[in-house]
Amino acid sequence: MNLEGAWSGPGALVIGCGNADRGDDAAGLLVARRLRELGVEAREQSGDAAALLDVFESVPAGQRIILVDAMVTGSPPGSILFWDAGAAKLSRETFRCSTHALGVVVAAELARALGKLPPQLGIYGIEGAEFEAGAPPSPEVLRAVEELAHRIAREV
């Protein structure tokens, strides 16, 4: 689902997740870095579920959170999708490229089960294809990183 503009307005915490040394898995980190170049505050995080739960618990009530991570859905590489985690459960299969056993989806669903899911949690996924250790991000993912960074910059 692509919901450009659904999260517009100031005050979002943007977190790019991934592993810089595993090809397209760096997508979220690259979006965070590009956002900072555009003057938007953005954090980098591995995508580990425990660390994300800590972030969810540490933000002020009502804080909007936007996560960005690589995904594998079978869509063409570089495709960008958006999920409103507060509105619907997420499929673990969508973000199965995570280098952590417990990643973004597990963090969101665990937070939901514990009653700690932020009321406004949006997750952008960039479809990846290359996740080998030491591989560079694919050209399709690099184009999507640029597009998504500008989209998020407009939204926040």
Q: Examine residue 56 and state whether it is found in any structural domain, yes or no.
A: yes
Q: Examine residue 35 and state whether it is found in any structural domain, yes or no.
A: yes
**pLDDT value of position 2:** 41
Q: Examine residue 149 and state whether it is found in any structural domain, yes or no.
A: yes
Q: Examine residue 32 and state whether it is found in any structural domain, yes or no.
A: yes
**pLDDT value of position 48:** 79
Q: What is the count of structural domains for the chain?
A: 1
Q: Is the pLDDT of residue 90 over 80?
A: no
Read off the pLDDT of residues 100-116 as tens digits, 9 standing for 90 and up: 455 777 788 888 888 88
Least confident of 26-40, 45-59, 65-79: 45-59
Evaluated on CA atoms 130, 133, 135, 140, the torsion sign reads: positive
> Regarding predicted confidence, which is higher, 102 or 30?
30
Q: What is the share, in percent, of the chain residues with pLDDT greater than 70?
A: 85
Region 137-141 average pLDDT: 98
**pLDDT value of position 113:** 86
Q: Is the pLDDT of residue 117 over 80?
A: yes
SS3 77: coil
> In which domain, by residue range, is 115 found?
25-155
Read off the pLDDT of residues 54-86 as tens digits, 9 standing for 90 and up: 888 888 877 889 999 998 888 999 999 998 887
Q: Examine residue 140 and state whether it is found in any structural domain, yes or no.
A: yes
**pLDDT value of position 94:** 54
Q: What is the CATH number of the domain that holds 83?
A: 3.40.50.1450
Give CA separation, 55 vs 37, 107, 113, 120, 152, in Å: 23, 10, 16, 13, 19
**pLDDT value of position 134:** 96
Q: Examine residue 37 and state whether it is found in any structural domain, yes or no.
A: yes
Q: Examine residue 55 and state whether it is found in any structural domain, yes or no.
A: yes
**pLDDT value of position 152:** 96
What does the alpha-carbon distance between residue 133 and residue 13 come to, in Å, rounded to a whole number?
29
What does the alpha-carbon distance between residue 104 and residue 67 come to, in Å, rounded to a whole number?
8
Q: Examine residue 6 and state whether it is found in any structural domain, yes or no.
A: no
